[in-house]
Amino acid sequence: MMAAVPDSVAELLAASLPLWGVSGVVVRDAAGGVEVTAGAVRFSIVRAPANLPFRWLLVSAERRRGVTGVAGLLRAVRTAVDPDFRPLRVRVAALPPSP
């Protein structure tokens, strides 16, 4: 059985739609995943199986898409629900692990 989507991720997604100005709902499904509905867009988010190089899967009627972490998940969800969103290509340089 796949692990459930953590509460922290579900709460983040629920808080994200208002921030993006998107009308929609984020609800838990019976299997521990999360369902996102925004207008005509509807998809589920589930934990990816351990044999895939992803942490999350976005599953809609049309496709399945894997993402590797919370940052990628946010980007993928916003891309799906916010037609005006353009992902930022600039990345913040990582902090050196020691001074």
State the residues that interact with another protein by CB under 8 A: 6, 8-9, 11-12, 15-16, 18-20, 55, 69-71, 74-75, 78, 87-88, 90-99
Other beta carbons less than 10 A from residue 60's beta carbon:
13
HSE at residue 19, side-chain half, CA atoms within 13 A, is 10
Which residue, 1 or 88, has its beta carbon nearer to another protein? 88
Which residue lies nearer to another protein by CB, 1 or 71?
71
CB of 96 vs another protein, minimal distance in Å:
7
Q: Least Å distance between CB 81 and another protein?
A: 13
Are 53 and 66 in contact by the 8 Å Cβ rule? The answer is yes
Residue 85 gets the label, from left (phi > 0), alpha (psi -120 to 50) or beta, of: beta
Minimum separation from the CB atom of position 88 to another protein (A): 4
> What is the smallest separation between the CB atom of 39 and another protein, expressed in angstroms?
19
Contact 77, 45 (CB under 8 A): yes
Compute how many other C-beta atoms are within 10 angstroms of the C-beta atom of residue 29.
13
- C-beta closer to another protein: residue 62 or 84: 84
